[in-house]
Chains A and B, each alone.
Chain A
Amino acid sequence: MAYLTETLTKAATKAAAVSVLALGLSAAPGLNGGDAHAAGKGVGVIDHDFAHEGAFGAFDPAQLRRGWQIYAEVCSSCHSLNYLSYRNLGEPGGPEFSEEDVKAIAAQFEVQTIDSEGEPIFRPAVPSDKMVAPYPNDEVAKLSNGGALPPDLSLMTKARTGYFGIWKQLAEGMGGPEYVYSLMLGYTDEPPEGFEVGDLYYNRYYPGHRIAMGRQLWEDFEYLDGTVGTVEQQAEDITAFLTWTAEPKMVERKQAGIRNLLFLTLFAVLLWYSNKKLWSSVKKPS
């Protein structure tokens, strides 16, 4: 339970409002009144350092491959990656699986199509296919998960906010990956004394602390590359992988940024001196 003690000491907030029963509260005028009571922000997330952070940060392909393994063996039984194709797994800047590996991964899945006579058939997936979702539709997904819909994970790290405040977000980013990482480590054996979760599970970092998904990461996960499968390692790897799925072009973007900023800065310096020289004759006292 080492990760839990880390979790507890690192968390910024000691207590979070769970539910608010307001009596006699001053009327909330305006159209959007009442937001104040939404305990949507949860508690401060764990600030974990990822390889992709910073202007020069890049994904570690080996880590993304481990993340894919966790997704494939754990998450994919309930969660889809609808916006990805199998070919993405072999593209530069990603997990960079070999062409053969990508073909082999795709071939494990079946996609529905129709044959030349119009009959519905299944064929093995190829790299250009979109990743096959675990459920054919949302209704089946809900039925299989006690009424809760397991969200698509393609954009998860961009669709959640872990950091709040304009300066914090400017300096550290929106904290989406940190939120996912924290959520993975936010399960405890028992909910806090007196906290009712019903059919749900307690998670320290989930807004409201009652989550439909149970704890998924356990000690001694067997990585194909021999990495020791601690819970923290798995949380970091799956988070890195989902950060890549949310933005496969992130490394390309950051590298383009350096080139663009260098060019623009040089151009600005030249223009500054041109402007100075140009105006010097006008500014000369007559």
Chain B
Amino acid sequence: MSGGHIPQEHHEPTSEAGKWLDNRLPVGGLLAHLNSFPTPKNLNWLWVFGGILAVCLVIQIATGVVLAMHYTPHVDHAFASVEHIMRDVNGGWWLRYSHAVGASFFFIAVYIHIFRGIFYGSYKEPREILWIIGVLIYLLMMATAFMGYVLPWGQMSFWGATVITQLFSAIPLVGDNILIWLQGGFAIDNAALNRFFALHYLLPFAIAGLVVLHIWALHHVGNNNPAGVPVRNDSVETAKKDTVPFTPYYTVKDLFAIIVFLIIFAMFVFYAPNYLGHADNYIEANPLVTPAHIVPEWYFLPFYAILRSIPDKLMGVVAMFAAIGVLALLPWLDTSRTRSGAYRPLFQRFFALFFVACLGLGYVGAKSPDDIIIGSVSHEKFSTEEEATAFMTQLLADDPGATVAMAQKIDFDANKVYYDVAETHLAFRYIHLGQLLTLYYFAFFLVILPALGLIERSKALPETIEDHFNAKMAKKKGVSAGATSDGGDKPSAVPAE
């Protein structure tokens, strides 16, 4: 069933048993196809994250299934059952920390994978379906992670679930009905916990199914590569000049990358297992006590920032989902005929800004929107509340539009209370930064990418993957040859046409 665009040697079973099986279920042929799959030989280290993500999914499902054997999805027992896992189940702490840290590392890997895809144009024809399946996997990952975070039934579980499900009430007319339907009642309670558990167990298998489609599509169209030029497909022989068989070349390379990834993963599991979580989630859920800060998990923060940067609730929710949805349209928004960002000098600058904007949105999502980033604030100290109030009233009388705030503070050195009146003359707050970054996020997809393809002049592309690979090797050799060679970093890495 090899098919696909890249010509590949046909698998012929040699043994009688192999032939017998092959005539009934060609599983041997499938495995041979997967193993010998012609893979571009110029892939760089950013291409290892697909394999890493497969490992992440396996880790999450394997640890998750065992955790589910010890977990009790009931509001009265969930929190205690998690502590039971941590204290009394053999290796339970390892299972739970691996699963919790594993979720974060799954997202680290998927974000690098997505940014790699955007930079190298991996969504472009003929990989649109491959890309859209990827976006769907990402969407399901977010749903799964969100519901998984509710299961320990800590304070952040409960309040996070409350805030996120409330978003659906913004839908006009039927919002409240949808909210009740989602929660299985009028608030997050046992019904919600039970359905979140059921779905948290189900969705990973849906993800696994989509991963199979993702890999199927990949094996049909072949890998993209840093040069962005296709594998020559006129014959098996020319294809071989551009590619190497997946096994052993990429199995070993990917395995090395997976182990390095696991080293960093292990550092967190064993030495900072709670770093990526919230202390509040070690307090059992209490519907009567709201935590001081309700903050989503770090991997949702950019979208949370987009949500909060729009003053209108419904539009905020629409913007948040649009921020994910726009990814699926990427193959048609990018009008450039050059696939790889490595040959698009203008694109590189906008992409770098986009990358910084995404990190910035994550940072803003973790901050209080009204906190001041840059501002001119004058403070006046008073020893009594009356004086401070009088001063503030005077300020407001002089300028009714003034932004003033009074706070009782403690001078610990003098062991004395004082009153601080702050007048903000000019302030650039996190909400403003979030709005700017949100604007850029959407502009990148909806304005910059479509326009760039029309105005940008790309650099000359290598003619073949083989050329690109050889030039890369020659450059490497030139650099290692040192000062004696004059060809160190000549731009000859990309042969001119």
Contact = CB atoms under 8 A, between A and B. Distances in A.
Q: Do A and B come from one complex?
A: yes
A260 B415 contact: no
A216 B83 CA distance: 28
B279 A24 contact: no
A158 B420 CA distance: 34
Contact of B316 (A26, A30, A84, A88): A30
Contact of A29 (B94, B253, B311): B311
B279 A271 contact: no
A26 B370 contact: yes
A268 B256 contact: yes
B270 A28 contact: no
Given A8-B413, A14-B411, A265-B263, A253 B94 contact: yes
Interface residues on B, range: 35 or more
Interface stretch (B67-75, B100-108, B121-129, B402-410): B402-410
Interface string A11-36: 10011111111111111111111111
A90 interface: no
B80 A83 contact: yes
A274 B255 CA distance: 11
B307 A30 contact: yes
Given A26-B370, A33-B369, A253-B94, A43 B412 contact: yes
Given A192-B415, A204-B412, A30 B405 contact: no
A23 B316 contact: no
Interface string A195-219: 1000000001001010000000000
Given A176-B279, A274-B252, A21 B407 contact: yes
B41 A282 contact: yes
B292 interface: yes
Contacts of B41: 282
Contacts of B316: 30-31
A268 B259 contact: yes
A176 B259 CA distance: 32
A52 interface: no
B332 to A, nearest CB: 31
B370 A261 contact: no
B267 A261 contact: yes
B437 to A, nearest CB: 14
Contacts of A24: 396, 401-404
Interface residues of A, number: 80
A116 to B, nearest CB: 28
Contacts of A207: 292
Nearest to A196: B417
B116 interface: no
A254 B271 CA distance: 7
Interface of B: 41, 80, 83, 86-87, 93-94, 97, 163, 166-167, 244, 248-249, 252-253, 255-256, 259-260, 262-263, 266-267, 269-275, 279-280, 282-283, 292-294, 307-311, 313, 316, 368-371, 383-384, 392, 396, 401-418, 420, 427, 429, 431, 470, 473-474, 477
Given A19-B407, A30-B310, A271-B256, 5 more contacts: A8-B413, A16-B409, A29-B310, A30-B431, A151-B283
Interface of A: 8, 11, 14-38, 40, 43, 55, 82-84, 88, 151, 154-155, 158-161, 169-170, 173-174, 176, 188, 190, 192-195, 204, 207, 209, 246-249, 252-254, 256-257, 260-261, 264-265, 267-268, 271-272, 274-275, 278-279, 282-283, 285-286
